[in-house]
Structure 1
């Protein structure tokens, strides 16, 4: 059975470049968590490369049960830009990734096959530059407990395969923990005495 707790994504942002017949294709790949973050990256690139002819992009977000996938050609012929970018993300089996390819037109038309190759190559270069890593899907819980319960809580966190995200000791101890997604129900049941609603 496939492990639903992990997924492949970018280790960090990456860039790539492809040139053909005077046209320049600048690839930018980002690890992302939300559509808001995606919009912010696209807007920033449109502002920085305001004089470019096209800002084509594709993204895949981890939205169980099915990933959310979008591709945008930004004025290029249908499926000549966004789809090749999306196909590169999918071929590397990545989630939570945005790739934008900015095109500066060089005066010579490349034709649809040429555009597909250019967008695919710029996207692939940016993705490979970003490096691939594996991340864990997690559920987050906020718990509060008495100082005398610390060892019991820490043992339970260890048994659940969870990690401590934040911890704060005051009159009561507060912690935020991350549990592998597949163990969310088990964690909720075992932590119920300490959960903050």
Structure 2
């Protein structure tokens, strides 16, 4: 229908996406979602959120980020905090890291608690260099400097032989390299429910 220039009703998009989602065909559901968004249909955001979450959980991170970007361009909601929380809790640290980086690059509103969840998950998973790298970005954007596990990260960096990074981080914190508190960016990432 879409290829022939017809605009299906909103309910048809939903039915097709639900059916594909239930069959585990997440990427195909994602393509239907993309078509729906490109046609200006901005409904069924609960299902859209499930599709984006499933893409991230299955490791299709770049596709998920592309869908989030499309949603943002169309003024649709994306709850990055919720997605970051889910990914962190499920141990999907690289997906969480990439999503957090995506949000930081676009100056999206991200809660301090979301920063901390991702940092905690990275540190727990032993991904200290990743934690260091994203923490530096967060601090450069005016984010947190009082993360409760900061000393643990510095200690882990030193133990792993990453003394230069540990020293840089120590100096950033002691020197007040960034302001404390939540970074509230220029763009609001609207909320998907």
- Using structure 2 for the length normalisation, give the TM-score: 0.22
Q: Which has the larger strand fraction?
A: 1
Q: Which has the larger helix fraction?
A: 2
- Using structure 1 for the length normalisation, give the TM-score: 0.22
Larger Cα Rg: Structure 1 or Structure 2?
1
